[in-house]
Amino acid sequence: MTAAAAIKSLFENIIFLSSFTSLIIAQVLKMIFHLITHKGNKIRDAIETMIWRTGGMPSSHSAVVCSFVTSTGIKEGVDSNYFVFSLVLAMVVLRDSLGVRRAAGLQAKAINSLGKQSAEKNGLEFHSVKEIQGHTPLEVLVGALLGILIAIIFSLI
């Protein structure tokens, strides 16, 4: 199979197409929500949110993995090993979005607050740590529903 044929095959695969489309739509929606909720911010900030920043409404991670698992279940069947693999992967990603990344972000925020206070009080230099943003349960739920809906739409067309 040539490289061109392989790429063509990839872009004809319903599982890839629904997952990739879920990612794009979730990120565009995230940019729109950011513009609505952060009035006065520039378009550049919204685009940066869409491309680089984590967190926000809806969760693109949830959209992608839920589209992946739904389209895999539709195409391969829920009794297939592919479906089981995609389901386990989705559970890990969803759990990470809600728990680990969110907790790490909240902890980093607390460390930065304490560090700044201590630095100001004691005249020390403080370098803040990166605050990653996880997702709220609503952001994960909306992303998951978006991914499932997109996979169903792709299976119907």
Instruction: Supply angle C-alpha 81, 85, 87, rounded to 5.
Output: 115
List, as one string, the DSSP characters of 17-47: HHHHHHHHHHHHHHHHHHHHHSTT--HHHHH
Give the model's pLDDT for residue 16. Answer: 96
Instruction: Give me the pLDDT at residue 109, please.
Output: 80
Mention every residue, 6+ apart, whose C-beta is less than 8 A from residue 38. Answer: 45, 46
**Closest residue by Cα to residue 97 from 60, 68, 71:** 60
Q: How many residues does the chain have?
A: 157
Local mean pLDDT, 10-residue blocks, the chain (157 residues): 88 95 93 79 69 78 96 96 97 86 75 80 78 80 96 94
Residue 98 has φ and ψ, to the nearest 5°, of: -80, -35
- pLDDT for res 49: 65
What whole-number distance in Å separates Cα of residue 111 and Cα of residue 15? 41
